[in-house]
């Protein structure tokens, strides 16, 4: 961490309501959106705190975002009110308010900061390695949705409007094609055919929703595996990274988790022959998820899960391709056709899923038959 970041972090940490003196502020974790620091204080219980500079270029409504997190964590805590306070603090994020009792601190440079209790003795994995981890991840997100099923959705702000709306993403792609600002459309005609031949299927969730057949719920919307903390025995402890909690459809959370779990290689793997679906990890996640979620999911929602599995890599491919056509200004790139390579890995995933659709389907139905 650079010196100036360290000083900014120290200054920001001082704005929060901590009962003990701060000893150090150090870079922490491996998130890609916010800047995250561990704050160590001079106390006898060894409790640490987590300071984050919120990425307010992505999240422009910081008030709405922090109120969302407050509503959600307060609600989740009511579900575990019977547990001792220190256990509650390890299962649900706890916001530390500022000295003036606000949910965030705005510094003189226009940076937004917030603080949580740091949940110690936990691990967050960037890549899932075992079926136990996959199943625990599914369980954590299933429980998260279950416990939020009775929270009044009208209290929750849509911090990133249309985030998982495929019509919105396709409209953006079509604008990029029409503009063709970098003269790249001619290279991608096969991919554009791939996209248009699947458009109808990919709108299934939107259509079901428009017909009133899918309930709008509170969903996480960033169900990457490193957003679940596991304990030292790989048991799920806590769902974190609540910035994107918004009204949504359960299939989006399921599909986005599967998108990374089922893919054995990096998002920018060039050798597409290496993209072979990891069905055991998929089945383990589905089992962990459904064992929690079957309690509240409707039949139509259960049916929608598989559509989410297809949709999320498709939508991610559409987003990478749009950025490629627009000249790579959203996703960070390391070489000229980086976004095109990423596009192809996502669509290869979709193709493999189509080939193994029966296996994907039966992993879901076998859990529900038990
Ligand atoms: P980002 O949006 O940048 O991914 P996260 O909120 O996910 O930010 O935080 C980044 C990383 O910091 C997480 O992947 C996790 O390893 C760690 N982390 C975040 N919150 C906590 C917490 N309360 N306790 C322990 N570790 C945490
Ligand atoms: Mg994260
Ligand atoms: Mg995040």
Going from the N-terminus, what domains does the chain have, and what CATH number goes with each?
A: 3-117 (3.30.200.20), 131-369 (3.90.1200.10)
Q: Report CA torsion sign: 170, 175, 178, 182.
A: negative
- In short, whether 346's Cβ falls inside 6 Å of ligand 1 is no
Residue 316 is predicted with a pLDDT of 97
- In short, whether 94's Cβ falls inside 6 Å of ligand 1 is no
Residue 2 is predicted with a pLDDT of 59
Mean pLDDT of 6-21: 90
pLDDT bracket for residue 33 (50, 70, 90)? confident
Ligand 1 atom with least separation from CA of 116:
23
pLDDT digit string (tens) for 151-203?
988 899 999 999 999 999 999 999 999 999 999 999 999 999 999 999 999 99
Residue 22 is predicted with a pLDDT of 92
Ion ligand 3: residues, CB within 5 A, are 33, 241, 243
pLDDT digit string (tens) for 246-265?
999 999 999 999 999 999 99
* Average pLDDT taken over every residue of the chain: 95
- In short, whether 32's Cβ falls inside 6 Å of ligand 1 is yes
User: HSE (CB half, 13 Å, CA atoms) of 36?
Assistant: 14
pLDDT bracket for residue 3 (50, 70, 90)? low
Q: Is the pLDDT of residue 30 over 90?
A: no
Residue 29 is predicted with a pLDDT of 85
Dist. CA 220–CA 348, nearest whole Å: 26
Among residues 36, 160, 23, the alpha carbon closest in space to that of 93 is found at: 36
CB-based contacts of 30, cutoff 8 Å, min separation 6: 124, 126, 226
Cβ burial, residue 44 (10 Å; 0-12/13-18/19+): exposed
Alpha helix (H) residue ranges in 203-337: 204-210, 250-261, 279-293, 299-326
Under DSSP, the state recorded for 297 is -
The Cβ of residue 42 has, within 10 Å, a number of other Cβ atoms equal to 9
**Hey, whose CA ends up nearest to atom 12 of ligand 1?**
29
Q: Is the pLDDT of residue 1 over 60?
A: no
Q: Is the pLDDT of residue 207 over 70?
A: yes
Q: Is the pLDDT of residue 63 over 90?
A: yes
- In short, whether 239's Cβ falls inside 6 Å of ligand 1 is no
Distances (CA, A) of 232 to 120, 126, 235, 271: 10, 16, 7, 35
Please list the residues that pair with 22 across neighbouring strands: 41
| 38-52, 101-115, 321-335: least confident range | 38-52
Dist. CA 146–CA 142, nearest whole Å: 6
Quick check: 39 and 51 in contact, CB under 8 A? yes
Residue 44 is predicted with a pLDDT of 59
CB-based contacts of 182, cutoff 8 Å, min separation 6: 325, 326, 327
Dist. CA 136–CA 122, nearest whole Å: 13
Element (DSSP H or E) covering residue 364:
helix 357-369
Dist. CA 296–CA 359, nearest whole Å: 24
Ligand 1 pocket, mutate which of 27, 159, 240 (most atoms under 8 A from CB) = 240
ipTM over 0.90: yes
Alpha helix (H) residue ranges in 79-217: 85-91, 131-148, 166-179, 189-202, 204-210
Ligand found nearest the CA of 245: 3
- What percentage of the chain has pLDDT greater than the value 70? 98
pLDDT digit string (tens) for 271-330?
999 999 999 999 999 999 999 999 999 999 999 999 999 999 999 999 999 999 999 999
Dist. CA 127–CA 330, nearest whole Å: 24
- What percentage of the chain has pLDDT greater than the value 90? 89
């Amino acid at each position: 961490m650079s010196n100036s970041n360290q000083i900014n972090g120290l200054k920001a940490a001082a704005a929060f309501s901590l009962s003990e003196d701060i000893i150090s502020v150090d870079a922490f974790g491996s998130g890609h959106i916010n800047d995250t620091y561990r704050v160590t204080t001079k106390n006898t219980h060894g409790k640490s705190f987590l300071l984050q500079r919120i990425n307010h270029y992505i999240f422009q409504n910081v008030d709405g975002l922090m109120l969302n997190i407050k509503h959600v964590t307060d609600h989740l805590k009511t579900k575990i009110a019977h547990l001792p306070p220190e256990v509650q603090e390890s299962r649900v994020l706890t916001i530390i308010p500022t000295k003036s009792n606000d949910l965030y601190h705005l510094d003189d440079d226009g940076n937004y900061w917030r603080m949580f209790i740091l949940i110690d003795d936990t691990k967050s994995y960037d890549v899932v390695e075992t079926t136990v981890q996959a199943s625990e991840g599914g369980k954590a997100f299933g429980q998260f949705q279950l416990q939020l099923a009775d929270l009044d959705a009208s209290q929750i702000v849509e911090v990133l409007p249309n985030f998982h709306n495929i019509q919105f993403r396709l409209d953006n792609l079509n604008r990029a094609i029409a503009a063709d600002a970098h003269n790249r459309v001619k290279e991608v005609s096969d991919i554009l055919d791939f996209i248009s031949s699947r458009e109808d299927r990919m709108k299934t969730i939107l259509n079901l929703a428009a017909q009133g057949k899918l309930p709008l719920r509170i969903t996480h919307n960033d169900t990457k595996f490193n957003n679940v903390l596991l304990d030292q025995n790989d048991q799920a402890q806590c769902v974190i990274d609540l910035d994107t909690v918004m009204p949504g459809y359960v299939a989006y959370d399921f599909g986005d988790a599967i998108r990374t779990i089922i893919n054995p290689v990096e998002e920018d793997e060039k050798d597409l022959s290496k993209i072979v679906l990891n069905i055991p990890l998929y089945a383990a996640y589905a089992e962990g998820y459904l064992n929690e979620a079957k309690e509240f999911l409707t039949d139509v929602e259960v049916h929608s899960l598989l559509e989410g599995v297809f949709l999320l890599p498709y939508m991610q491919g559409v987003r990478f391709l749009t950025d490629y056509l627009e000249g790579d200004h959203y996703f960070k790139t390391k070489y000229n056709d980086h976004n095109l390579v990423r596009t192809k890995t996502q669509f290869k995933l979709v193709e493999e899923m189509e080939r193994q659709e029966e296996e994907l389907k039966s992993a879901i139905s076998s859990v529900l038959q038990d």
